[in-house]
Structure 1
């Protein structure tokens, strides 16, 4: 069924259901006779004054039909709303409070042990005079356990997202987490369940009325069916009319709810533009050697320069005049033209927000919801924007593979890696899967691990392995080198190069590591933000030294810490200390605080378990006010787990943690009292960092009001100042997350953390989605935040250049243990452990 026919069918069904519901609600106003008035002989045929004949008591069937639906629909609506709302709340609570979730699940299991139909009949038979009250109560008792499980499963994914975890780390109350963070993002589930519960309620009320086990109103379609069944052969309309009304409402509501309106991912304007302008004509209009509209092309890597003015048989893709505009009018991608030669590597570089991800997804026929596209996109001989839904699915399955900037959100967290790879390439063998895992630097044991138990770097490699296993003609990789340590980054870069040279795969990638990109790319396209040049750091309000001025923090410190321009970092306080793994757990924690300095955060004896395996063992450290501790190590070493333990997000953890001299519970998710001016977390994945239902302004306003206690009239100027501090324009305040690039979302998440004026700021890979200039600006901002506010920063990063230049202390993790610690200058200059040496590449 085509999209137009499906829409016509959906609207027709909706109109029919709406008409029946309207007649049921307003029916008494249009009834020719009172519902209980006899107008003729029992079971008389249609005719005369009775359009549908009469029933067993001689009453007009049409009049009785019009007056008998109000009670049924009203009771069904109350049951549906009550069951859905209560189930949604319980499911959300179960997602954010695992202990409460276990209690809810246990109670549900006890109820489910009793068959629902039998239980309902027993209760109503024992309480025959309960009427509507008994029916609603029994519906809640037997309906909520099933429905709550569905909401709990859906809410669990949302509860694990970055914006919910940031809210938990900020000390938000349970009511805020449930009603402001989770439930608004369960609208689709809520709507679907509300419709289904309404259908179930209609059948339940009809069945109870038909059986007569509870005292319900006499004006009821089900009672009409029961009372008139004996005269089915005399006047079938007395039975068929109410039966049809019940069926139309029940089935129609179900169809409308489950086939609600969908977002059009391919705007009509884009298709029209492609049909109007041929690819060859569009490319010819660019002229030989003409510059790109939104970027510039520079030859580099193995094959030198690559023009775009000639279309030949070697072109895997040709993009001409592609531009994308959001539904708000914001330009997401300025007009862009380029070609991809078969068997080559093309790279997008440029500032965050330039449209790299938008351009890459356009090759798959995917545009942001509500966005309008213009231009021509031909990939592998296919006019992508002209494909229908079925053709687009076939094209994506057979010709192209895409690995996004946040691979963790693309992997089913419940599946094992073996199942993920088998699903991507059903015809592959176990040997093929093992080989592709080895190519991305993962050992065979990862086949048995669930995706949720992988680190961010491991998830990125599994997603890459899944794409490679499909053997696509075109491979689109968004930030494939982000979040990887030095040696592994080099290996993955070499793998990408080999895919092009040995397998003739056409690769389009993006990234900010210019050295690695220039080493493997044939063509580098530098995109620029729409209507702007390269990122200008000096646009941030600065003093004569080029430093953003921030208000003084809690400590009132006004001194300024100087960063060695050579990149070696400030002189350390304790030199370097090497810790050997100690299975007995007797090694003393690394003391990085120094003497005579105020300790902002101290951790001792931190141990954490995930999936039955120990992921952190005997971790200890301390960070002084104004200091920056870099936590580094290979992928899967436990860095993110340590950050989550400190932020109070990892339940299976023990140890002691002090923040500003106050003991903070470890392994607990309830830190409401220490949330304000305490710990703030900026999570690793920018895609899940922000609540999709909120604008940027709403996101920043919450901590400003709740924690910083900023008066309402001053909120907008403070929001503008926060955006400027992270190098974002003020007009982004009205946008929602889907209208931002990955780097912009990451900076908004950082601004949200800064709005709370934290004593401890945990930054998990916050520069991976940023270009070099913006990353340097963000790190300089953190330097000034530490100096002026006395904020302690815990930075997780794979960028050793940033660590050297902006961190005072260093902690190296490997397999969940501290293997080396000290100052960056000392540790990185002469690594004493192989894990540290691997970080340097």
Structure 2
């Protein structure tokens, strides 16, 4: 889990301490010193080569720092000796950092290119950098600054690029990058528009570190005299005046100190982040925070909590509640009501730039009053959190055993195996990497990790989402047992009202902050809607809808419609992941306007199938045709398919959108590039897309951190619709939505099928949606098709155990 941010409450006095208090003075001092070094020649009292006294004269008279070995003014030489050093170091730092960032990003999105880059880097790293630099510069003595920059790139980029590649690999696996890949975006767009803007923190840190290394490198080269650098250089001053250290120490100490101040100062400023330290408050301070006296049975108290984003959008309306020890409390409500925001507030986490009002007291601590160190200790000792998108919280490179051991170092192998079995996973999963798990398996591993810590308070955001019927029942029972048998206080959220109500002692319904409900957005005139995608049933009224849907399905899949075009044909789809067969011999034909439900237990290969069809899975083989046109299988660009291609909406809303872009920017890209919408019409089409997915027009200005999980999911769906696809793959797109909105979204998909003959592939664990909105059903188990047919018939009398398990 990313380290949350804590936000001070209004009127709270914050004092700077720890590493933060000196940051701004040091930054100002170093900046002034660097400016003085760059502009030094303008302030030098004498020319750098002008003799003003005896060699190595002590400070005094017209020479404030004395003279050097040639009788020149040390101060004047000091003021003129930093310009070249800092300029060359800055060029080296920028060149190495920029090139490394680009190379690292390319390695992340092009694994094969990454292997070549890694091999080349290994060959360079085999030669010690200092030795290699000295050899090159000795053989090229007249190369001067150009030679120094070139050799710095040669030996600096391989190491630095690995750091960027490691950071970029996580971003490359995110939903918004995969959506860009599936849309056929170019390599340059992926690198410069999707990945590098989200590596700003890494870039800044590496730029500072590369500058420090460059300063020392240039100084060392100048001191050794192996490169033709100018005589006005701090390092050369040290070398030339070393013999007079006892006569006039300033001739050596002044330039040495200048090098150290610049190098160490810049490093400290870059690597130290801003922070505020606040005096911790305990239960005795509760009255001052506006919290009433806490009952001994209260594990947590939330009093008047209200959260407002930096844009002014209200993310959470004022909310108050208490969590009793050993009970299960559930937060319900429409998507966007602020459930996730309220739950994360118990950890002292508010969205970036958001302001909090009110108070949150957890386990006797006012979480918003804790400094960074105390907040980490509080979270480690008292509370555990499993987010709505657990896949983004697990290190994709670690094995499950390592993830569990990291969470609870004192636990034994038997403890780890036992907790895995509690969440329905066997011992074989201990050896698997998190990146190789399905969404449902990742959710269970994240839950197991939290349980293994034995926290007093367990916060679970949508813990039942993405699980099939039997497993959902088992996990719900596990949560209930944790409260009753282990006295764990549980706060959870969920849109499955029946399941949540069955295990919760208290249910709190949240409402969207604005007076206008998300589900009551004014409908545009369908005649003016260029998409023709105005969903019906916005208030969740499914009565009478089933008949219409059945009629639509019947019309689309009428057996007498033998000439109906095939939108997607798949044959012999095989896929591997980590040397393990994930799909084997999967094939089907999907008519235009049909809706195919792909279902099966967690880990059956559903998401892998979606990724193969979308062109995101490398180790795949088989045949794919879209509208009769053969398309490549595997990670190959499909831009030629254009607006009649395939779009994928992934199951992880947290990683679905680029955090650097507004909703309007996110939707405008496919509208302009794929659907070829003129620029002047783009704003109107963005508004239409938002209305189609039940979002108001003003959401266009919001960024992802200002949206709930369900709202992000709907924006991701709108992005896919903007590309006008012939085939739309929806991977668990309704799990983060309330019932009314889920029905509205599915109604939108039905209308797409009827009006535009868009073929839909729906991956879901909600059999109610499958029955009511899909025309065909395909059941996967262990990577193979085990059952197919009409949803109503298959689910009424399943012939395979995997199908029966889906019904709970």
TM-score under structure 2 normalisation?
0.94
Match of 1:697 in 2: 664
Deviation at 1:571, TM superposition (A): 6.5
Is the Cα contact below 8 Å between 2:280 and 2:369 reproduced in 1? no
Match of 1:184 in 2: 197
Select 1:787's aligned residue among 748, 754, 778.
Answer: 754
User: Does 1:418 pair with 2:431?
Assistant: no
Is the Cα contact below 8 Å between 2:531 and 2:688 reproduced in 1? no
Deviation at 1:779, TM superposition (A): 0.5
Match of 2:440 in 1: 457
Aligned length: 784
Is the Cα contact below 8 Å between 2:572 and 2:586 reproduced in 1? yes
Tell me the secondary structure at the aligned position of residue 536 of structure 1. helix
Select 1:811's aligned residue among 778, 783, 788.
Answer: 778
Structure 2: give runs of 5+ residues left out of the alignment: 1-13, 534-543
User: Does 1:485 pair with 2:468?
Assistant: yes
Tell me the secondary structure at the aligned position of residue 142 of structure 2. helix
User: Does 1:246 pair with 2:259?
Assistant: yes
- Within 5 Å, which residues of 2 pair with 1:430-449? 430-449=413-432
- Within 5 Å, which residues of 2 pair with 1:681-696? 681-696=648-663
Match of 2:30 in 1: 17
Is the Cα contact below 8 Å between 1:763 and 1:793 reproduced in 2? yes
Deviation at 1:671, TM superposition (A): 1.9
Select 1:341's aligned residue among 324, 345, 354.
Answer: 324
User: Does 1:39 pair with 2:21?
Assistant: no
Deviation at 1:693, TM superposition (A): 0.5
CA separation in 1, counterparts of 2:655 and 2:483? 32
Closer, same or farther: CA 668–120 of 1 in aligned 2, 3 Å:
same
Closer, same or farther: CA 809–542 of 1 in aligned 2, 3 Å:
farther
Is the Cα contact below 8 Å between 1:574 and 1:822 reproduced in 2? no
User: Does 1:280 pair with 2:247?
Assistant: no
Is the Cα contact below 8 Å between 1:629 and 1:793 reproduced in 2? yes
Deviation at 1:548, TM superposition (A): 11
Closer, same or farther: CA 629–548 of 1 in aligned 2, 3 Å:
farther
Deviation per CA, 1:579-623: give whole Å up to 9, x if none. xxxxxxxxxxxxx99842101111111100100000000110111
Is the Cα contact below 8 Å between 1:537 and 1:773 reproduced in 2? no
Is the Cα contact below 8 Å between 1:112 and 1:142 reproduced in 2? yes
Is the Cα contact below 8 Å between 2:50 and 2:72 reproduced in 1? yes
Deviation at 1:7, TM superposition (A): 2.7
Closer, same or farther: CA 659–268 of 1 in aligned 2, 3 Å:
farther
CA separation in 2, counterparts of 1:80 and 1:535? 49
- Within 5 Å, which residues of 2 pair with 1:155-554? 155-261=168-274, 276-280=288-292, 312-532=295-515, 535-537=518-520, 539-541=522-524, 551=531
Is the Cα contact below 8 Å between 2:690 and 2:697 reproduced in 1? yes
CA separation in 1, counterparts of 2:498 and 2:610? 30
Closer, same or farther: CA 725–570 of 1 in aligned 2, 3 Å:
closer
Deviation larger for 688-697 or 784-793: 784-793
Deviation per CA, 1:657-676: give whole Å up to 9, x if none. 11111111101332222244
Tell me the secondary structure at the aligned position of residue 721 of structure 2. helix
Match of 2:541 in 1: none
Deviation per CA, 1:253-288: give whole Å up to 9, x if none. 1111111335x79999999x976444217xxxxxxx
Is the Cα contact below 8 Å between 1:274 and 1:377 reproduced in 2? no
Closer, same or farther: CA 32–209 of 1 in aligned 2, 3 Å:
same
Match of 2:578 in 1: 611
Structure 1: give runs of 5+ residues left out of the alignment: 282-310, 554-561, 576-591
Match of 2:686 in 1: 719
Match of 1:564 in 2: 546
CA separation in 2, counterparts of 1:785 and 1:571? 12
Is the Cα contact below 8 Å between 1:199 and 1:254 reproduced in 2? yes
Match of 2:11 in 1: none
Tell me the secondary structure at the aligned position of residue 475 of structure 1. strand
Is the Cα contact below 8 Å between 1:677 and 1:707 reproduced in 2? no
Is the Cα contact below 8 Å between 2:468 and 2:766 reproduced in 1? yes
Match of 2:39 in 1: 26
CA separation in 2, counterparts of 1:597 and 1:267? 70
Q: What is the RMSD computed on CA atoms of the aligned residues? A: 2.5
Closer, same or farther: CA 238–313 of 1 in aligned 2, 3 Å:
same
Deviation at 1:319, TM superposition (A): 1.2
Deviating 4+ runs (over 4 angstroms): 264-271, 547-550, 566-575
